[in-house]
Amino acid sequence: MARYSADGFIVSDANGVVTDLNSPLEKLIGRTARDIAGHSLATVVECACTANHRNSNGDTFTPANFSIATGDNPNVHNATLVSRSGMDWCMPTSHIAIEGENGQIIGYLTVIYIIQANSVQQAQTEFVSTVSHELRTPLTSIKGFADTILRAGDRLDVSQQRRYVGIIKDQADRLTRLVEDLLAVSRLESRKLQLTIRAIDLNEAVQRVCRNLSDKARDHCISTKIPAGLPAVWADADRLEQILTNLIDNAIKYSPTHTTVTISARDINLNPEMVEFSVSDQGVGIPQEHLPEIFTKFSRLDNPLVRQTEGTGLGLYITKSLVLALGGHIRVESHAGGTTFTVQLPAATLEEQAARGRG
């Protein structure tokens, strides 16, 4: 047995009686191999997987529905480990049959993936902590100004009341955007995103998004360079608009006033099956060492322009996930004085549209 592995291992006989376990598992559950030896595997691991297994007497020796795997590709399921302290852990687990020379099962190896579980648990903990912080900020403002209005409303003049109500509305809008982004992340990660794919005119989509963002872009120049005759793209209209909105909105927010945001598009000669469009700004740029991080959840750069701009840190993560869901690619290039996000999506050429129409 891999006694020095960081993951946990339990060896049991053909009747499901534990014969040995390694030290990482001993430390995790607070029991030694001597304590567990001779006891049923069910005293350590509780599973709900796919099949019941019985010993030679016909008694269930593993908890109900414990999946048995064979070969080099064991099934992995969540299992609950029972510790001496009464604390339980849910961890990925494989239960692998050990066969003798004649093919008869002579025992079982149960693998507890401690490292994988710890990584997932840490990621979940960090995600919940970050979401809690992001929710707390607008809620604190909403509660604070609402309390002030209720407590001293008759002593506030009309301009003060309007300002406080305006702050409450702005923070409520911020809260709404965060919840919508979290719901989008949930749909993307659970693969429940509904897509209606059709041929979409990219120029029309860009112009529609620019009109929607015209108020935010009052202090910027928006330039579009989309050639006539550009093939349509295969995409979901709402998701394409969300991608464009996130990229153009970011370019506006994170670049100084009176600078230009450019949206351009082109055919890709080397890959005619794709259409490429880019969103470029004249902002402060992104340091090269931070480029790999910008598409991760809750990633926000630490610079004055970003700190003074509200955001959830989920926009680019959602954008990349949507691009991939549509069968495309996204990349970023940045230097002092500007950043460019480039997206490639499948082209809906007339031939392709005709072929799909016949299908």
Tens of pLDDT along 266-303? 988 777 789 999 999 998 888 888 887 888 876 665 55
Same domain, 27 and 82: yes
Same domain, 160 and 270: no
How many CB atoms sit inside 10 A of residue 175's CB? 17
Last residue of a domain, one of 112, 129, 157: 112
Same domain, 210 and 268: yes
From residue 305, give the alpha-carbon distance in Å to each of 35, 130, 269, 349.
60, 21, 37, 41
Name the nearest CA neighbour of 336 among 283, 257, 280, 279: 283
The structure's pTM equals 0.56
The residues facing 21 across adjacent strands are 10
* Total residue count of the chain as it appears in this document: 359
Specify if 1 maps to a domain: no
Say what the pLDDT of residue 333 is: 93
Same domain, 182 and 311: no
Residue ranges in the chain modelled with pLDDT below 70:
1-5, 46-76, 83-90, 115-130, 133, 189-191, 298-312, 350-359
Q: Which domain holds residue 24?
A: 8-112
Question: Taking a C-beta distance cutoff of 8 angstroms, is the pair 200, 240 a contact?
Answer: yes
Same domain, 49 and 90: yes
Q: Which residues of 63-83 are buried (b: 16+ CB within 10 A; e: fewer)?
A: beebbbbeeeebebbebebbe
Nearest-Å Rg of the Cα atoms of the chain is 28
- The number of folded domains in the chain is 3
Last residue of a domain, one of 189, 211, 226: 189
Name the nearest CA neighbour of 174 among 141, 212, 147: 141
Each residue's pLDDT tens digit, 112-159: 877 654 555 555 555 666 677 677 878 888 999 899 888 887 888 888
Specify if 182 maps to a domain: yes
CA angle 39, 42, 47 (to 5 degrees): 160
Same domain, 229 and 313: yes
Last residue of a domain, one of 57, 84, 112: 112
Same domain, 107 and 176: no
Same domain, 67 and 101: yes
From residue 28, give the alpha-carbon distance in Å to each of 9, 25, 35, 183, 257.
12, 5, 14, 35, 56
Specify if 177 maps to a domain: yes
Same domain, 98 and 124: no
Same domain, 80 and 135: no
